[in-house]
Every structure is written in structure tokens, then in C-alpha cells.
Amino acid sequence: MLSKGKLKKDFHKNKYKYIMVIPVLIYLFLFCYKPMYGVIIAFQRYRPTLGIARSPWVGLDNFVRFFKDVNFWRVVRNTFTISFLSILFTFPAPILLALLLNEVRVSWFKRLVQTVTYLPHFIAMVVVCGLVNRFCQSDGLINDLIAFFGGERSNLLIKTNMFYPIYILSDIWKEVGWNSIIYLATLASIDQEQYEAARIDGAGRIQQMWYITLPGLLPTISMLLILRLGNILGVGQEKILLLYNEMTYEVADVISTFVYRKGLSDADYSYSTAIGLFDSIINIVFLVGANKISKKLGQSGLF
Amino acid sequence: MHKRKNAEDIILDGIIYIILILLALATFYPMWYVLIASFSSGTHIAASGGLLLWPGDFNIEAYKLTFAHPLLIRSFCNSLAVLVLSLPINILLTVLCGYFMASAGMVWKKYIVGIIMFTMFFSGGLIPKFLNVQDLGLYNSIWALVLPGAMSVYNAIICKTAIEGIPYSLVESAYIDGASDIAVMRKIILPLIKPTMAVLLLYYGVSHWNAWFSASIYIKDAEKLPIQNILRAVLISNTKLTESFGDSYNAYADAMQYAAIVIITVPIMCVYPFLQKHFTKGVMIGAVKG
């Protein structure tokens, strides 16, 4: 145990460091920890007029209600589907881009491609979805292309089978360049002598890519994959809110958008909070699980 | 190092360059389309059959109308106000937090860092946050867009790693000379982490400028909304911007939407080139585990 004297000495020596961190702790307390305490309304039938202190307790009723909700399977299925599709397509895309850029020897061309592909990361989600909205209208750009190749014009945003491709492709468009930065930086640190040695042994470029470049990227890939898995339910809520409509709820409504509608449109506070809590817990389970698996496989864990 | 290229190399290079060129074009074209559509008349946009390469009947009418639009300009100013209020707070808290996490030797450090990091993995969720903002009396006030996101722990970790990158001997010699923590911070650390701070400013600035979600929850009055929310009404819900000018301007409805996009995207595009060289640093440091 720490003695009182030692604590006193510590505080005296590091006085300013402690004082400087106080504003941060006040912020975290007011805007992160206070809402965490507010989570207990998930176990109540919360009434704004009564407040947390006097609202009646209902135990796990809100959770049971969610599991029995007609939309339960729909939102859970959609959340996992979108997440799975983005791990399958959006996640590897920047790795592929980094591998391709790594093969480019003309530096101005490489820089040009990088500059162009990084840009959309900074474009607002509202603008991106607004453009998607424009281009997918029946008189929009994409339909012009479809019509050019003899297809039929239609509003793509109200078709359930088009939602996932639109979602995934616009995601890749916005983030592929930005997400490739970290892989490119990792590639820059790979020992060039390995390539020399491989060339002398007669390895072709594809073989070098497969046996040197890709293994060099593996630690980074696994770390980012853990982070991604830990956020498995964290599908692009803002994006879906901007892109979906009642015609596509069947495939596009996810847990977080359901939380949004229940909580803010229907003002069903306790119910919405319970669903949100369910969402958080699943996320943490996945994060811890992915971290464990990664450690077992001999890769570095996150914590 | 360069040897004569064989056929396999040439084909491979060809494929790689073609893929990259197509990708760059696919990324660039939508942005280009917005830009030229904003300078074209509605009839030209409609007549072009979607594929615009160059502005037709070039005019800046849409921009004139956009700048005369009362709600757009007001919301533009609201967004600027959020930036002006937020950025100093963001940077202050981030540097304080980063400095604390980077320093060693405090008995309570482990616990305080735990308190800070925990917020990255668990949050109260939408409704508790919303009720909290109401509870604190921030609802429908600009502070609701400033204070709840006053610091990002992720950015604080970027800052922490930058501070750790400073040679300890520099800091140590200052301490030996009798400098206090505050003096070390002001005289040594802040000047040395300027590039990182620039990147952090960009991150915070872009996230505030592009934000619409919190305003859609926390702000009730239309005249207090930031620009993205107005744009959302225009682009997603198809509210016509020309309504306030009368039917005779309907030809410019499309061009005005694009002009509005250009106007709100240009500020970001202006700072982008200056900061691009620092991106790698920011991204890399952030990815290193806390």
C-alpha cells in the first residue's frame, strides 16, 4: 500500500501535471461518464417529468421487449450483413490499393493518385450521400450509364437489392485512399534488402508481392482487423440515416438507426437506451474476443 | 538496380497503371461534375444526359443566388461560429490530456489513463447523451455542438505519441535548470509538436465542419442550424433552394445545390494541400497502441 507521505510527495512533485489533467477529467465526467450513468434508464420506465431518481424500475423488461420486437431479427440481421460485407469488401480495398501503389515507380503518378484518392475523406457525409442520391435518381448519372448500355431507368435508392452495393461502393470511394495511408507507411519500413535477395533468387514481382510485401503488412492488417471487429455493430449510422428510406428499411434498417427512430422520433427513451446498451455490450464482447484470438495466433494484441 | 524489363513486368505494370488511372478518374469525376454543374445552367445539366465534361453556358448566377440565400449564409456563419468556439477548446484539452499521458512517474497515472481510455470503448449511447445535454441546459444552444465533442481521446493519443517522440534529454535538462511543468510545456513541448497540432487542427476542424448529426438532435431552431443540416434538407429531402426567390429562378435549382456543395467544401480543400505531407505522421501515430 502507498503511504500517505508518498502520496503527498507525489502530489507535490507532480502538482502541475495533476492540475493540468483536471479540465480533461471534468470534460470526461460531464460528457462521457454522466451519460454512462444515464444508461440505467434502460432498466426503468423513464419519464422525463420524474427523472432518473423517481422513474419506476422494470428490470430487464425493455430488453425482453426488444428480443420480442417484430423488427428484432431484421435490424440484427441487417447490422451483421452490412458489417460483414464491409469487412469483406471495404476492409481489403485499401490493402489492395497500397500494394498497387507500391509497385508504381513513377513518383509523380503515385503522388497524383494519392492526392486524388485521399480527397474524398474530407468531403462531408451529407455531400457524399447527396451526390449518391443525385446520381441514383432515375435521371441521374448512373441511370444514364445504365440506359446507355440498354438497361432500364429506375430510382436505385428505393430498390432493396441495390442498397448494399450503393452503400459499399460509396464507402470505398470515400475512404479507400485515406485508409491506404497506414499500409503505405508500413510498406515504406519493409527492408529493401529482402527484395534484392528475392530478385537474385529469381522471384518475379508477383512472388515478391506475395512473399515479402504481404507478410510485411500482416501485423498492421491484423491490428486494424481487430479494431474493425471490435466495432462490428458500428455500421455507418449517419450514412444509413442519409441513404435509407421506408422502401429500403427491410435491408437497411440497422440497430443504431432503430435506436435513433425509437428514441428520437417515438421518444421511447428507455427502450431505445436498452437497445443501445445491447449494441455496446455485443461490441465489447467482439473486441475482447478478437483481441484474444489475435494473441493466440501470435500476433500482437491491442491491449 | 534497374534491369531490362521482361514481358511479364510490362504487362503487370500496364494492368497496375490502368487500374490506378480508372480509380483516380472514378474518384475525381464526381467532384469535377459538381464543380462544373455549379457553373452551368439547369437546362444545360438536363440536356447533357448526365455526362458533363465542361461547363455549358458558363455563368455564376447560381453562386450569386446562393450567396443571397438568407438561410444558407446564416448557417454558414453558424458553422464558422462552431469552429471558432470549438478549436481552441479542442486543442487545449487534447494537449493537456496528451501531456499527462506522455509523462511518467505519477502515482495516479495508471488510474487516470484508465479513466480516459475507457471512454473509447464504452459510451452512454444516443439517448443518455441527449438527455444529458438537455439536463445541462445546452439543448438548442450552439454549445451543444461544441462541448460534447470537446476532446477526442483518439486525437489525444496522437498528441501523446508526438510528445513521447521528443528526446527526453531536452525535457530533463529543462527540469534540471529549474523549469516548471508549465514552462516545459510552453517552451519545449508546444514548439516541437507544431506539425502534429496542425494535423489535429485539421482533424477537429473537418469533423466540426462536416458534422450534421448532433445538430439534428440538439438544435431545434432552423436559424441556429449549421450548414450541413441545411444542405441535408436540400440534397436529401429535395427542398428547393430557389423557393425563397420565386419560380422564375427554378432553372437554377440544380446548379444552386452544386454551388452550395462547392462553397462548403472549398474551405477544406484550401487547407488540404498544406497539411497533406503530415497525414502519414498523424495516421501512423494514432494507430500505435495507447
Confidence of residue A191 (pLDDT cuts 50, 70, 90): confident
- Nearest partner of A133 among B268, B239, B251, judged by Cα: B239
Q: What single-letter amino acid sits at B287? A: A
At A202, which CATH number?
A: 1.10.3720.10
Instruction: Mark whether A93 and A204 lie in a shared domain.
Output: yes
CB contact under 8 A, A38 and B128: yes
pLDDT at A178 over 60: yes
Instruction: Mark whether A85 and A210 lie in a shared domain.
Output: yes
**Average pLDDT of the residues in A69-95:** 92
Partners of residue A204 in chain B, C-beta under 8 Å: 8
pLDDT of res. A208: 86
Residue B9: half-sphere exposure toward Cβ, Cα within 13 Å: 13
All residue ranges of chain B with pLDDT < 50 are 1, 288-290
Instruction: Mark whether A52 and A145 lie in a shared domain.
Output: no
pLDDT of res. B290: 34
The domain locations on chain B are 7-67+240-277, 69-223
Closest Cα of chain B to A71: distance in Å? 19
- Nearest partner of B103 among B154, B176, B159, B187, judged by Cα: B159
DSSP state of A53: H
Tens digit of each residue's pLDDT (9 = 90 or more) over A235-285: 788 899 999 888 888 889 999 999 999 998 888 999 999 999 998 888 888
DSSP state of B127: H
Three state DSSP letters for B223-239: HHCCHHHHHHHHHCCCC
Instruction: Mark whether A220 and A99 lie in a shared domain.
Output: yes
Query: Residue A192 in contact with residue A183, Cβ under 8 Å?
Result: no
**Hey, of B127, B263, B270, B285, which one would you mutate to test binding to chain A, going by the most A CBs within 10 A of its CB?**
B127
Instruction: Mark whether A250 and A283 lie in a shared domain.
Output: yes
Residue A19 lies in a domain: no
Range of the domain at A179: 73-296
CB contact under 8 A, B20 and A100: yes
Tell me, rounded to whole angstroms, the distance of Cα A65 from its chain centroid.
27
pLDDT of res. B288: 46
pLDDT of res. A302: 58
pLDDT at A93 over 90: yes
The rounded distance, in Å, linking the Cα atoms of A105 and A108 is: 9
B-facing residues of A in 218-237 (CB < 8 A) are: 220, 223-224, 230, 237
Q: Is the ipTM of this complex over 0.90?
A: no
Instruction: Mark whether A249 and A139 lie in a shared domain.
Output: yes
Instruction: Mark whether A133 and A257 lie in a shared domain.
Output: yes
The rounded distance, in Å, linking the Cα atoms of A243 and A165 is: 12
Query: Residue B38 in contact with residue A127, Cβ under 8 Å?
Result: no
Instruction: Mark whether A153 and A119 lie in a shared domain.
Output: yes
Of A117, A204, A287, the CB nearest to B121: A287
Closest Cα of chain B to A149: distance in Å? 14
What's the mean per-residue pLDDT of chain A? 87
Instruction: Mark whether A208 and A275 lie in a shared domain.
Output: yes
The rounded distance, in Å, linking the Cα atoms of A44 and A273 is: 10
The rounded distance, in Å, linking the Cα atoms of A58 and A64 is: 11
The rounded distance, in Å, linking the Cα atoms of B255 and A3 is: 71
Mark which of A13, A36, A59 sits at the end of a domain. A59
Counted domains in chain A: 2
Query: Residue A82 in contact with residue A167, Cβ under 8 Å?
Result: yes
pLDDT at A134 over 90: no
CB contact under 8 A, A39 and B112: no
Q: Report domain B69-223's class.
A: mainly alpha
CB contact under 8 A, A104 and B26: no
Residue A5 contacts by C-beta under 8 Å, 6 or more apart in sequence? none
